[in-house]
């Protein structure tokens, strides 16, 4: 969590930066549905720093929206505490919380033009006209809609409507903005464009964004940190690189990107690594964090792009396994190989097309796969 404590203040004095923007402390949410108790969130704790772009990532139904609604105040936790800027707001209604929420459906007023949609909240709060003009103008500039003030929502693309919704939320200057799958309705190209736009806007306005998505590439692209959720729990909370390079659990490894899972019995264990028994000629060394005893089964993951493929058994202190190529797919910038191991596992290997002749392996060939031991991780 060091990256969120960047604003080190005057020695001995607590600066506002050090108070987390949002905290969930052992939060549980149960619903009663048809007489049965559904635990949507099963005990989630997280601390979100001021100015952070923080994502809740996980499959549909894992409790992302419920967690978000508890931050916004639309749901009350069954157990646990929600804090905003250090204050317990667990029982404070949404309109008394200094956060704003943007929904997937935009919820714009169809009969109002862009300018009036954005100005609506300020006018209702009786902000003086001059200030409304200045703030709405400034916000339309940030979301790149200058010149479109007179348009109605239906006269605009999905991406533009999304930016109006964003401007309408941001113009109130909330201390945090909550976005629940805000790009879900857009096609891929527009979504990718808006991901970059959102990140830019967040940097420009400098407020905390909490972003809900089930799209791993979206979360990896935009976030400072990500909480990967599964079945009402947080499985890993870390930066995108850490999540991708060092998935903490089998679920995270499987959910984020393509990963290979291998398992084997530990046959030599020394404090920080174990050698796994796979095929007789194979050698797999894996760094371990927790106590592993000889005879334990260890599961490990290694990313496809970390694996080298060769027709000869490689030299050096590498992990290596032998297998048979079952599929080769040409994908432009790289080839994807599927390699079946004797034990039944299938390993995916991505190899950059550096030369025409990077490898000559074809379907049916016997090959060696090798990787640096530090590029593989034992899973919990």
Residues that bind ligand ADP (CB under 6 A): 31, 33, 38, 40, 58, 60-66
Task: Please say whether the beta carbons of 26 and 81 come within 8 A.
Answer: yes
| Letter string b/e over residues 200-218, b meaning 16 or more CB atoms within 10 A of that residue's CB | ebbeebebbbbbbbbebeb
What is the distance, to the nearest Å, from the Cα of residue 341 to the centroid of all Cα atoms in its chain?
32
* Counts for the chain of helices (H) and strands (E), in that order: 8, 20
Q: Among the candidate windows 16-24, 62-70, 132-140, 235-243, which touches Mg ion by CB under 5 A? A: 62-70
CB of 261 to ligand ADP, least distance (A): 24
Give the one entry of ligand ADP, Mg ion, none that residue 20 binds, where binding means its C-beta sits below a cut-off of 5 to 8 angstroms depending on kind: none
Residue with tokens 């991505």: 350
Under DSSP, the state recorded for 180 is E
Give dist(CA 85, CA 315) in Å, integer.
55
Q: Minimum Å distance from CB 34 to ligand ADP?
A: 9
Rounded Cα gap, residues 329 and 312, in angstroms? 21
CA 132 and chain centroid, separation = 35
| 8 A C-beta contact, residue 75 and residue 69 | yes
What is the nearest approach in angstroms of ligand ADP to the Cβ of residue 32?
A: 7
The item of ligand ADP, Mg ion, none sharing an interface with residue 63, based on CB under 5 to 8 Å by kind, is ligand ADP
Nearer to Mg ion, 218 or 282 (CB): 218
Q: Which residue is nearest to Mg ion (CB)?
A: 65
In the complex, what is the shortest distance from the CB of residue 64 to ligand ADP, in angstroms, rounded to a whole number? 3
Nearer to ligand ADP, 162 or 213 (CB): 213
Using CB under 5 A as the criterion, what x/- string covers residues 64-83 for binding Mg ion?
A: -x------------------
Under the criterion CB under 5 A, does residue 230 sit at the interface with Mg ion? Answer: no
Nearer to ligand ADP, 33 or 272 (CB): 33
Binding residues for Mg ion, rule: CB under 5 A, are 65
């Amino acid at each position: 969590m060091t990256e969120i404590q960047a604003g080190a203040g005057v020695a001995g004095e607590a600066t506002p930066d050090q108070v987390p923007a949002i905290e969930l402390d052992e939060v549980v949410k149960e619903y009663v549905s048809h007489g049965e108790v559904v635990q949507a969130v099963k005990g989630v704790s997280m601390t979100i720093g001021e100015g952070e772009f923080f994502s809740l990532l996980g499959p549909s139904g894992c409790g992302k929206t419920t967690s978000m609604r508890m931050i916004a105040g639309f749901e009350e936790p069954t157990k646990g505490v929600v804090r905003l800027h250090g204050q317990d707001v667990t029982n404070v209604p949404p309109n008394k919380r200094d956060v704003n929420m943007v929904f997937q459906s935009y919820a714009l007023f169809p009969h109002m033009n862009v300018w009036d949609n954005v100005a609506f909240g300020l006018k209702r709060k009786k902000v003086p006209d001059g200030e409304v003009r200045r703030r709405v103008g400034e916000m339309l500039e940030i979301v790149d809609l200058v010149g479109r003030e007179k348009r109605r929502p239906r006269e605009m693309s999905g991406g533009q409507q999304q930016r109006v919704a964003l401007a309408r939320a941001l113009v109130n200057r909330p201390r945090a903005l909550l976005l629940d799958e805000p790009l879900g309705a857009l096609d891929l190209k527009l979504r990718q464009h808006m991901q970059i736009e959102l990140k830019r806007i967040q940097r420009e306005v400098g407020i905390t964004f909490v972003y809900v998505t089930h799209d791993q590439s979206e979360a990896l692209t935009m976030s400072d940190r990500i909480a990967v959720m599964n079945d009402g729990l947080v499985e890993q909370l870390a930066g995108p690189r850490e999540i991708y390079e060092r998935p903490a659990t089998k679920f995270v490894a499987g959910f984020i990107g393509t990963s290979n899972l291998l398992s084997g019995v530990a046959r030599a264990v020394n404090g920080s690594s174990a050698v796994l028994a796979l095929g007789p000629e194979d050698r797999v060394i894996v760094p371990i964090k927790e106590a592993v005893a000889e005879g334990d089964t260890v599961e490990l993951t290694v990313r496809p792009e970390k694996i080298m493929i060769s027709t000869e058994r490689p030299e050096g202190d590498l992990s290596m396994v032998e297998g048979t190529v079952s599929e080769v797919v040409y994908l432009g910038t790289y080839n994807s190989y599927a390699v079946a191991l004797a034990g039944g596992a299938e390993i995916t290997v991505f190899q950059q097309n550096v030369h025409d002749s990077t490898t000559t392996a074809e379907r049916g060939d016997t090959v060696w796969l090798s990787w640096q031991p530090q590029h593989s991780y034992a899973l919990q």
